[in-house]
């Protein structure tokens, strides 16, 4: 086998990287046509890769076969302390002709990242089995799922014994409680998420301030006259997790759902998720996106049961042990 020609990523590599990304996205859309078609155009893909390259402290590697670039990898750190001393490879941060070669590119790029003290690595990978397998053999594991489904063609009927309705101001105390219920659950085993937990008063104040924001539809589920859960629908553009290649055109977003601990597993989560699907269809969206921690034993079962199909896997590796 000939020696691989790998060198640090440079600005002149951007057009070739964009062409590879457009190719990868075209293949990805054969499985998920609801993902945005625009990035099949190398010019649109170029804007994505250029934005990554121009972000603070971006670096990476390219692989060449003769004069042709056949793979690239680009990472940059996120500022939030939640991610630790990190490097993120975003959805537009990698594409390879041969899946196995992502390992060579990572081998070249990660040396600098670790030398710089950046030991928490994250990467967003399309649901391509060969590519995922190559990343797994770099000691990455699955952390978060990004998923999509079409809106229902006809409204999903409500369930007997469970009323789902739009929230009113009087629901704010239970909405604040439910807002805490999500990070409380995600802090437990086996999720162990490091997200910050607001106080009940902070959650109440935030709800009082934001309750009338017309960009969000807040729905609550009631059983025997008491609210037991809530969900929130919005445009996908309101969420920061799904951008660029993972942001469908005209998409709705199931951005939040929680059921009180004692009421879980009895159908309220399904009813609340379905209510967001119905709301999204009524609002004129064509698809709905959501995401979940794959270690969350509740949401990772609830959202696929509602027809969400995983498009991207966020993988994570912590170096040093």
Query: What does the binding site for ligand COA look like in residue numbers (CB under 6 A)?
Result: 181-182, 185, 257-259, 264-270, 292, 296, 298-299, 301-302, 305
Closest approach of ligand COA to the CB of residue 270, in Å: 3
Q: Which is nearer to ligand COA, 14 or 271 (CB)?
A: 271
Closer residue to ligand COA, CB minimum distance, 33 or 265: 265
* Bond prior to 35 in cis (omega within 30° of 0): no
Comparing CB distances to ligand COA, the nearer of 103 and 264 is: 264
Which residues share a beta bridge with 257?
231
Closest by alpha carbon to 270, among 185, 153, 164, 145?
164
Other C-beta atoms lying within 10 Å of the C-beta of residue 153: 6
Tell me whether residue 139 or residue 305 sits nearer to ligand COA (CB atom): 305
Residue nearest to ligand COA (CB): 269
Q: Could you tell me the smallest distance in angstroms from the CB atom of residue 303 to ligand COA?
A: 7
Q: How is 40-105 classified by DSSP, letter by letter?
A: GSHHHHHHHHHHHHTSTT-EEEEEEETTEEEEEEEEB----GGG-SEEEE-TTSEEESSGGGHHHH
Please check whether residue 82 is in contact with residue 194, taking contact to mean a CB–CB distance below 8 angstroms.
yes
Q: Minimum distance from CB of 186 to ligand COA (Å)?
A: 7
CB 244 within 8 A of CB 45: no
> Residue with structure tokens 């399309």?
126
Give me the least distance between CB of 62 and ligand COA, in Å please: 36
Q: Which is nearer to ligand COA, 14 or 232 (CB)?
A: 232
Q: Least separation, in Å, of the C-beta of 292 and ligand COA?
A: 4
The least distance separating ligand COA from the CB of residue 137, rounded to whole angstroms, comes to 28
Please say which residue, 123 or 296, places its beta carbon nearer to ligand COA: 296
> Half-sphere exposure (CA, 13 Å, Cβ side) for 303?
28
**Which tokens go with 315?**
């993988």
**Angle subtended by helix axes 200-210 and 172-186, to nearest 10:** 130
Rank residues 150 and 267 by Cβ distance to ligand COA and give the closer one.
Answer: 267
- What residue spans of the chain are helical by DSSP H? 14-31, 42-53, 102-115, 129-136, 172-186, 200-210, 268-282, 299-305
Cα separation, 208 vs 80, in Å, equals: 26
> At closest approach, how far in Å is the CB of 234 from ligand COA?
14
């Amino acid at each position: 086998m000939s020696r691989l020609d790998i060198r640090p990523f440079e600005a002149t590599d951007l057009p070739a990287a964009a062409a590879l990304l457009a190719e990868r996205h075209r293949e990805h859309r054969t499985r998920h046509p609801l993902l945005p078609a625009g990035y099949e155009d190398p010019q649109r893909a170029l804007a994505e890769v250029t934005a990554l390259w121009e972000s603070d402290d971006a670096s990476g590697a390219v692989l060449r076969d003769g004069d042709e670039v056949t793979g690239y990898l680009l990472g940059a750190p996120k500022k939030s302390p939640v991610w630790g001393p990190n490097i993120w490879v975003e959805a537009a941060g990698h594409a390879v002709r041969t899946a196995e070669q992502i390992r060579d590119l990572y081998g070249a790029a990660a040396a600098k990242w670790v030398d710089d003290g950046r030991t928490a690595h994250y990467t967003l990978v399309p649901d391509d089995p060969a590519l995922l397998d190559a990343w797994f053999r770099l000691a990455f594991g699955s952390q978060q799922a990004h998923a999509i489904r079409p809106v229902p063609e006809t409204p999903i009927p409500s369930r007997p014994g469970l009323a789902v309705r739009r929230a009113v101001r009087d629901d704010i105390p239970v909405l604040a409680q439910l807002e805490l219920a999500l990070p409380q659950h995600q802090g437990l085993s086996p999720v162990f998420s490091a997200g910050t937990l607001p106080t009940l008063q902070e959650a109440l104040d935030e709800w009082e301030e934001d309750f009338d924001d017309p960009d969000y539809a807040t729905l609550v589920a009631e059983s025997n006259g008491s609210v037991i859960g809530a969900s929130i629908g919005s445009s996908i553009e309101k969420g920061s997790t799904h951008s660029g290649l993972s942001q469908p055109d005209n998409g709705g977003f199931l951005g939040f759902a929680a059921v009180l601990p004692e009421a879980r597993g009895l159908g309220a989560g399904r009813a609340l998720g379905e209510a967001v699907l119905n709301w999204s269809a009524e609002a004129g969206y064509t698809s709905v996106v959501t995401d979940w921690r794959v270690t969350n034993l509740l949401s990772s079962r609830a959202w696929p049961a509602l027809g969400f199909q995983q498009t991207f896997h966020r993988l994570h590796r912590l170096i040093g042990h």
